[in-house]
Copies of this chain bind each other. A is one copy, B any other.
C-alpha cells in the first residue's frame, strides 16, 4: 500500500499549532520541524483550511492558526481532510461479465470498502488532537 504521509504531516502540524503560544506559525517554521519543504506544508494547510480546522493569514507576521480547541478536533476529521482516498483499491480494469463472480464482484467489494472505511473512521473518531498533545507531553 503506497500510502502517503500527509496524515502524519497534518497531525504533526496541528500539534505544533496547538502547542505554540504565538498565534501565527509560518509554513517555513512548520516545514523546519516536520523536515520538509514549505510548499509541501502550504499545500497541506490549504486542505486543513478547507476542512475548517485552521485559518491562514498572508503578509508579514502571517501564517496558520488553529481555529478550534484541540479537544474538538478528532483525528478522523484530520484524516478525512488530507487523505480522501479509500482504504484499499478497486479493480483497475472491469472484470469479465462472462464470469458469475466477475459480474458482481464490484458491488460486493464496494460494500466491504464501505465497512472498512467506516471502521477506520470510527476508531479515529475516538482520538482528538488533545489526546495527541497529552501523549507528546508524557516522558
- A residues touching B (Cβ–Cβ < 8 Å)? 1-9, 11-12, 15-16, 19, 32-36, 75, 79, 83, 85-96, 98-102, 104-105, 107-109, 111-112, 115-116, 118-120, 122-124, 127, 132, 135-136
Cβ of A2: which chain B residues have Cβ within 8 Å of it?
1-4, 85
Give the distance in Å from the alpha carbon of A77 to the alpha carbon of B120 in the complex.
Answer: 17
Q: Assess the B33–A96 pair: CB atoms within 8 A.
A: yes
Cβ of A36: which chain B residues have Cβ within 8 Å of it?
93
Give the distance in Å from the alpha carbon of A46 to the alpha carbon of B104 in the complex.
Answer: 25
CB within 8 A of A120: which of B87, B94, B98, B102?
B87
Dominant SS among interface residues on chain A = helix
**Best-buried of A6, A33, A83 by chain B (most CB within 10 Å):** A33
Cβ of A9: which chain B residues have Cβ within 8 Å of it?
91
Q: Assess the A94–B3 pair: CB atoms within 8 A.
A: no
CB within 8 A of A3: which of B1, B15, B99, B112?
B1
Q: Assess the A98–B33 pair: CB atoms within 8 A.
A: yes
Nearest CB of chain B from residue A45's CB, rounded to whole Å: 16
Q: Assess the B19–A101 pair: CB atoms within 8 A.
A: yes
Q: Assess the A94–B35 pair: CB atoms within 8 A.
A: yes
Q: Assess the B102–A35 pair: CB atoms within 8 A.
A: yes
